[in-house]
Structure 1
């Protein structure tokens, strides 16, 4: 399984491959024509990176993970996309006709093995484990049947949320979803080559080793093919765009009493065939 990451090192920010032993193979010096993984994706260059990584020894063991695609043009999140999540709202509705969407800014996410930051203004920091897709081939009004042809790679997200702030207004959740470093994406990108990577995926989220979320993408009310088709109806998708596809039931806000994240907690989002995204929790300095 080839894993491509963006990392910070004593030599600066680099992209490359992560080996089975955890070492990092810098590939950005090999491809100076591509400044970032976003450029690699736009050029269809992930297969070139895979070939270049074969047989290379790690160049770095001292590095810090960043979000895999730096400065994506768009990060769009699908909300309330599992039947049990919809039932949590207790409003008597079954599956809605249209999916719920909201944007997130890149700086609201941090990388793997880095802390989620709880702000001093509000302590209702919650977790949401999700699969994220990265667009490789852009387009507008993409047919659902063709949607998978537009995916370059898949990764994981913890779509961390300040719950009280999503209730500040009547028609949006944006302010509760965009606190700096409140969520995470990573650790790496896995090239998308087979529909089974998504259709058979199972999401498990753990807090301090305790399973809080456990479900499969096949149960989503709006499958990923439909997400791409619907989103591309109103906006042009471009290479490097990220769609965060929906979280199962089991977030901390739904416990009685709520079980929000506190400093020292460890949150893990795991999907077979992708890996595990792990983050600690710290208060903002």
Structure 2
């Protein structure tokens, strides 16, 4: 069973996702007030067992960012061969991966609008797979990396393109506008290596395919990402790693095609689901 954070009637819940609606699980696990608490306690199996015996509790819901209180979100940049070539700087495949932080405030949930700020009209999409750490560790070997993953979700790592170039070595300000990206729609428990090894990302804008690639082509595979990141920091349960986007973002098209109000962006990953968002201008 997959799990989501959602709101209904002015309250926030987490629970199991079914075709008929949500099965709230907060009351069954008062020791885990949020889905993040359940992940940190290695509780996804217990959630699934509890949901199997409970009825649907909510049908009219609004998805929230899947782990809205995530403490650390680490993103991997320029991680597909064609993506590296898009920069047209003559550089070869980098030996080490590019990393940057994002904060939970920069993400909204499934079927919610991404917000374009008045300061820029260069809101762009980036479809990616995100892994949620379940077992922490330091200096994790690649062979053991998958053992540290609790679940998978999808990220549209929305970016304000001109703001990533405000400083020489810094993309943080272009990557952290409030509600400029989305993570969801749900958390899929990680039980089989094929969920990542056979995963394919397809990003569509208004039905047009813009990105289409497989994780197997990553320059820095997810096992390597976990190994590398855990070398310099101790990964903790609930940490999210956003693993990299394929070629085809709007900034790299000729001419560039940025998102505008009314657009619909769908990021589909065959082993996870589809994350869908509209675009809306910020009300100021």
TM-score for the superposition, normalised by structure 1 = 0.98
The partner residue of 2:91 within 93, 112, 115 is: 93
| Structure-1 residue corresponding to 2:189 | 191
1:203 is displaced (CA, Å) by: 0.2
Which range moved further: 101-110 or 10-19?
A: 10-19
Deviations 1:123-161 (A, max 9, x none): 100000000000000111111111100000000000000
Counterparts of residues 222-237 of structure 1 (less than 5 Å): 222-237=220-235
Deviations 1:46-70 (A, max 9, x none): 0011111114321001211111113
Counterparts of residues 62-73 of structure 1 (less than 5 Å): 62-73=60-71
Which range moved further: 73-82 or 62-71?
A: 62-71
1:279 is displaced (CA, Å) by: 0.2
Q: Indicate yes or no: 2:237 matched with 1:239.
A: yes
Counterparts of residues 36-115 of structure 1 (less than 5 Å): 36-115=34-113
In 2: Cα distance, 1:91 partner to 1:67 partner: 35
| Structure-2 residue corresponding to 1:6 | 5
What 5-or-longer segments of structure 2 have no aligned partner? Answer: none
1:91 is displaced (CA, Å) by: 1.4
Deviations 1:197-237 (A, max 9, x none): 00110000000000000000000000000000100111111
The secondary structure found in structure 1 opposite 2:234 is coil
In 2: Cα distance, 1:11 partner to 1:31 partner: 20
1:20 is displaced (CA, Å) by: 2.3
The partner residue of 2:262 within 257, 261, 264 is: 264
| Structure-2 residue corresponding to 1:139 | 137
In 1: Cα distance, 2:282 partner to 2:69 partner: 23
Counterparts of residues 150-189 of structure 1 (less than 5 Å): 150-189=148-187
In 1: Cα distance, 2:53 partner to 2:267 partner: 30
In 2: Cα distance, 1:27 partner to 1:71 partner: 17
In 2: Cα distance, 1:192 partner to 1:68 partner: 15
The secondary structure found in structure 2 opposite 1:170 is coil
Assess if the C-alpha contact under 8 Å between 1:36 and 1:70 holds in 2.
no
| Structure-2 residue corresponding to 1:15 | 14
Assess if the C-alpha contact under 8 Å between 1:129 and 1:204 holds in 2.
yes
